Amino acid sequence: MRVDTIHLLVLIQEVFSAKVKLVSEFLSGYQMTENQLKLSSKLDLINVISCGEIVSHSNPLAEIKLVRNGIKVQVVYAFASVIDWDMATVAKVIGTTSTTLSRNKAKLLSSQISERALEIARLSMVGIEYFGNIETWNAWLNTAHIQFNGRAPRTVLNSIRGRELIRNFVKQLQYGFTA
């Protein structure tokens, strides 16, 4: 049994390393290295969505500056790849369309859309931390729950209140409140 667990961990590390390498190559024009995508054993999605400008524990003023300047559209593609979402889903939750993103790859997102992208990255880190991996987090987001009126949590990701509900529900799960 122990050998199977070790084998599984090695396999997960290989898959993660392959994804990091793919994203690193994708962002090579932005000088983002493989080491910038990794933060010890924990994936820092804030680092990914900001193209290495900030990390999850950066000064809030650095986040504000990033949002005001705008996040690079091309980085949104890397973020989608890392969390295994299609661009239509990412575009919808950040408040734009995949067509708009594909037409403006070399541009910066507006401050409002940049802020939403940062919030989605932060919320995804909370979910991934609780559920243990990206796949389980995504499965949970796509599963209908009574707490969301029989809908999947992903359907409310595009609103501030929806993201707040998801965050609060995950925290309740974390502390054992299931009702």
119 to each of 14, 72, 152, how far by Cα in Å?
28, 15, 19
Q: Which residues contact 27 (CB under 8 A, 6 or more apart)?
A: 51, 74, 75, 78
pTM above 0.85, yes or no: no
Residue-wise pLDDT for 125-155, tens only, equals 999 999 999 999 999 999 999 989 999 999 9
Residue-wise pLDDT for 158-174, tens only, equals 999 999 999 999 999 98
Residue-wise pLDDT for 116-125, tens only, equals 999 999 999 9
| Paired residues of 43 in beta bridges | 38
Reported as type and span, the H/E element at residue 46 is: helix 45-49
* pLDDT band at residue 3 using 50, 70 and 90 as cut-offs: very low
Residue 42 confidence (pLDDT): 72
Residue 36 confidence (pLDDT): 42
Residue-wise pLDDT for 41-54, tens only, equals 478 999 999 999 99
Evaluate if residue 38 carries a pLDDT over 60.
Answer: no
